[in-house]
Amino acid sequence: MKKALFVLIFCLVGAHASRAQFTIGPKVGVNYSNLSSNLQSLEDEPITGFHAGVFARLGGRLHLQPEAYLIRRGSDLRFKDTGHELLRGEVRYNSIDVPILLGYKLIDGGLVNLRLMGGPVASFIMSTDEDGVTEWPSENNRYEDQVWGIQGGLGLDVGNLTLDVRYETGLQDINQGLRQRPHTFNVSLGWKLL
């Protein structure tokens, strides 16, 4: 996590020093997430969560957009096995996500901008709430402390208001035993302070 914060601070200081176009502000939003698995005996149901944090944008038409936000995600799960009764569980987890996105303004209208963005995201898991999952028949059934993903989406700026719509998929399993990967659809609203 220290490395991600160092990268964010480095980008902010670098942009200020070079007098590049610079924007920073808070953002909040909702997300729809699940933990998909390639195990045929495991079914997942998405849940609705939230996120809140800060974003920065460095550059003009082509820009870098580092962010840091707290996000709540998870999934409702069902384990079906012909030899056992149906087991149900749920997983909710809080993480600090640090995406470093490369963006391009498709429409650069000054007051109104349409942006395309994508890039890696590091998720640092702060807490995990599991209900019923620890009893499941799986070895190595534990959730990781950090996972990597990739995000992509569109953004719209109208004056100081910014709206982002993104999809994120995990690049690695968050739970090796259940072979789960996080998938998240985010909608966020931000306010450019600078």
User: Residue 17: its pLDDT value, please?
Assistant: 44
- CATH for 139: 2.40.160.20
- Give per-residue pLDDT as tens, 149-185: 999 999 999 999 999 999 999 998 777 766 778 889 9
Q: Can you tell me the distance from the alpha carbon of 28 to that of 51, in angstroms, rounded to the nearest whole number?
A: 6
The model's pLDDT over 34-87, given as tens digits with 9 standing for 90+, comes to 876 766 666 778 889 999 999 999 999 999 999 999 999 987 777 766 555 567
Number of domains in the chain: 1
Question: Do 194 and 22 meet the contact criterion of CB atoms below 8 Å apart?
Answer: yes
Separation of first and last alpha carbons in the chain: 26
Query: Judging by beta carbons within 10 Å of its beta carbon (0-12, 13-18, 19+), is residue 86 exposed, middle or buried?
Result: exposed
Q: Which residues span the domain enclosing 111?
A: 2-191
pLDDT value at 13 more than 60: no
Alpha-carbon distance 106 to 154, whole Å? 10
pTM, 2 dp: 0.81
Question: What would the DSSP string read from start to end of the chain?
Answer: -HHHHHHHHHHHHHHHHHT--EEEEEEEEEEEEEEEES-TTEEEE-EEEEEEEEEEEEESSEEEEEEEEEEEEEEEEEE--TTSPPEEEEEEEEEEEEEEEEEEEEEE-SSEEEEEEEEEEEEEEEEEEEESGGGSS-TT--B-SEEEEEEEEEEEEETTEEEEEEEEEESS-SBTTTTEEEEEEEEEEEE---
What's the Cα-to-Cα distance from 83 to each of 40, 80, 86, 105, 137, rounded to whole Å?
A: 14, 9, 9, 55, 12
Q: Which amino acid is at 159?
A: G
